[in-house]
Amino acid sequence: MTRNQMAEIIDHTLLKATASERDILLLCEEARLYGFGYVCVNPCWVKKASAELSGTKTRICTVIGFPLGATTTPVKLSEAVEAVQNGCSGVDLVINLGALKSGSYRQAEGEIKAVADAVSACRKDAHVKVIIETCYLSSQEKKTACLIARDAGARFVKTSTGFGSAGATVEDVALMKSVIGQEMGIKAAGGIKTLAQAIALVEAGATRLGTSSGIAIIKEMDAAQ
């Protein structure tokens, strides 16, 4: 994988509650400089990031129902539609973990489908990634969550919020890949700090990487070349 290919699959991420406007502007400048495929910001910063990155190749991603997935479907729908209208093309939606744990699979799938349909109706190139928060799930629940996301029309499954008890692992990405194959993308996120981690996750099946350490990863690549 080349430096540019690695940069393109990175979602340069800043989801801290304390992120200031200055922090967001710096994030966008870094994305321009390093050629990251996306910046991932909280919904309140989507419009600002979209304006800053207008005319560049870097796109905007945000998080919905974050980080617990416990808001109601109408709230998630409202968040997602507003984000897309404000310039976002990537919507990372936290699955309703309570519904999943309760065996209410139709409820979980229906919510994802509603958001996916609303997002694509607003913007043809917009898509949904479903965050399944692997650290809280059994192996079977991880498989079920992937199938629910696929059947609901999501384009990606994502390992983690980065706010749970653990982040992305090679084992979880490989398991997710074994379930969805080539039908969906996989976004690994949470605790990705080194080039070795990034490469291992990609080799396991990840097609996007959500990380706040993208610059360090690219600098590692530069130093190794």
Question: Is residue 125 annotated as part of the catalytic site, yes or no?
Answer: no
Of 92, 129, 142, 177, which one is the catalytic site residue? 92
Give the Cα separation of 136 and 50 in Å (integer). Answer: 33
| Catalytic residue check, 76 | no
Torsion of CA 182, 159, 116, 61, to 10 degrees: -110
Which of the residues 76, 129, 177, 187 is marked catalytic?
A: 187
Evaluate whether 180 touches 174 at the Cβ level (below 8 Å).
no
Task: Spot the catalytic one: 76, 129, 142, 158.
Answer: 158
**Is 92 in the active site?**
yes
The catalytic site residues sit at 92, 158, 187
